[in-house]
Chains A and B, each alone.
Chain A
Amino acid sequence: MLELRLTQAGLLKKVLESIKDLVTDANFDCSATGFSLQAMDSSHVALVALLLRSDGFEHYRCDHNISMGMNLGNMAKMLRCASDDDTVTIKADDGSDTVTFMFESPSQDKISDYEMKLMDIDSEHLGIPEAEYQAIVRMSASEFARICKDLGTIGDTVIISVTKEGVQFSTKGDIGTANIICRKNTAVDKKEEATVIEMAEPVSLTFASRYLIAFTKATPLAGQVTISMSYDMPIVVEYKMETMGYMRFYLAPKIEE
């Protein structure tokens, strides 16, 4: 028996909207730790790792570990039927091949339930060890989204270079080149606008713009984004959800042959 109650359906809606274009089907894993998902895109270039911590839910009952295969597009469709301020309850009985989403309006005068078919998915879980990264940048999530979108219109790849002064995003395309430097800056009006650099060594890596743009669909989840890089390692783009957990995207770099 699984029963998870979350007061803000809006959060779950944003989570689904941010991953449904990257991953078609995925297993949601439910354990005492929380409601989590790890899935790669079909080309195995990008990976999404989501954790919604159990203590972030208003009610969290998960009798034993359970994995539920869902089509994320269909799940997003059902969640779109909830209002952002509805309470959502996710329910599944042991051995059932369906999951139920129940939405309750804040005044309790409208209660809806949507039952969705589960699917069997061969999940390929990657073991991702906790790593020390050579460079970590924290910056405005909306600024990062803007940069990825702007550079994506000019070139297919983005070079991200971190020095202790700041982070540089560069691209090159048929029509020309572009460079954006965000200098470290903590003297800001709103703390989410700060750009903070923690760096052991300068790092410069190349990534496909379209994946970075896809990751920025998670921008509504957090004011700041954390970008972690080490030489010849996948980049990690993380959106932390206050009290609830995180959405992390991993992207393998492009290398010179």
Chain B
Amino acid sequence: LKTQLRLEAFYTFN
């Protein structure tokens, strides 16, 4: 089963 990652896993909030 594959899990959908969210963008916060890669980038930080400014």
Contact = CB atoms under 8 A, between A and B. Distances in A.
Main secondary structure of the interface of B (DSSP, over half): mixed
Interface stretch (A38-46, A83-91, A133-141): A38-46
Task: Give the size category of B's interface with A.
Answer: 10 to 19
Interface string B1-14: 11111111111111
Nearest to A159: B2
B3 to A, nearest CB: 5
Interface centre among B7, B13, B14 (most CB of A within 10 A): B7
Contacts of B7: 40, 44-47, 126, 234, 250, 252
A157 interface: yes
Contacts, number: 53
Q: How large is the interface on A (under 10, 10 to 19, 20 to 34, 35 or more residues)?
A: 20 to 34
Contact of A45 (B1, B4, B13): B4
A126 B12 CA distance: 6
A256 interface: yes
A255 B5 CA distance: 7
A208 B6 CA distance: 12
Contacts of B2: 157, 206, 254-257
A125 B14 contact: yes
B4 A208 contact: yes
B2 to A, nearest CB: 4
A63 B12 CA distance: 30
B6 to A, nearest CB: 4
Contacts of B9: 252
A233 B13 contact: no
A109 interface: no
B13 A125 contact: yes
- Shortest 10 CB-CB distances between A and B: which pairs? A254-B2, A126-B11, A252-B5, A125-B14, A44-B6, A127-B14, A254-B4, A252-B7, A257-B3, A44-B7
Contacts of B3: 254-257
